Amino acid sequence: MVCKICFADFELSGFRLFFEAHPIVCEKCFQKMNPQFFHGKILGYPSISIYEYNAFIRKLIYRYKGGKDYELKDVFLASYNKLLRFIYRDYVLVPVPSHIKADEERGFSHVQEIFFSLGMPLVIAAKKISLSKQSNRRFFERKQIKNELIPTDNLTKLKDKKVLIVDDIMTTGFTLQAMINIVKKANPQKIKILTVARRIAYHGEE
């Protein structure tokens, strides 16, 4: 097997073989990713973030998202596909959107591609109408994201559904708050949040 992150040949043993039919990340890179499964709440809704947004995860996401390394799309969830499908069985995925021009420039929708690997139903319930990046904004400016995400016609498909809002990075939580407020309009049965990573400064309830 060849690691999709460092390209080293590797053999896998131990508990990961139970979860991964076709391992794609070597043990060395897996340890650097350091999965921890942080639990919290956003507007009262339960959230899980798999990784801390450490230096290794930051570089990995930049290489995937900014460097357009499409092959990295599967590495973030590869070790936990079975577990996540079990935990969120019967849920519908609702990805946090990026602007359509950003997706076109990159060549793919980075959040959607990460979570496609779960093989769960996915609904595009919101779209972003600004090209501005949250990472380039000061803290108080990030609150304005609520004015830049608007519902799509697909929102009605979420009525009485169990909804899992998904994103790559949780920072201040403002984007996820805005998504929750959009999804709530559809009167879903449940709402939960799952992100790949979170900044350690984020402590849960927002």
| Tens-binned pLDDT, residue by residue, of the chain (206 aa) | 999 999 999 988 777 777 787 899 999 999 999 999 999 999 999 999 999 999 999 999 999 999 999 999 999 999 999 999 999 999 999 999 998 999 999 999 999 999 999 999 999 999 998 766 545 545 445 555 667 899 999 999 999 999 999 999 998 899 999 999 999 999 999 999 999 999 976 444 44
Helix (H, G, I), strand (E, B) or coil at 169: strand
Residue pair 185/155 in contact (Cβ under 8 Å)? The answer is: yes
d(CA 44, CA 61): 28
Q: What is the CATH code for 37-198? A: 3.40.50
What residue type is 174 in one-letter code? Answer: F
Three-state SS for 149-170 is: EEECHHHHHHCCCEEEEEEEEE
d(CA 11, CA 65): 28
Pairing mode of beta strands 35-42, 45-52: antiparallel
Helix (H, G, I), strand (E, B) or coil at 43: coil
pTM reported for the whole predicted model:
0.89
Name the region of 163 (left: φ>0; alpha: ψ -120 to 50; beta: rest).
Answer: beta
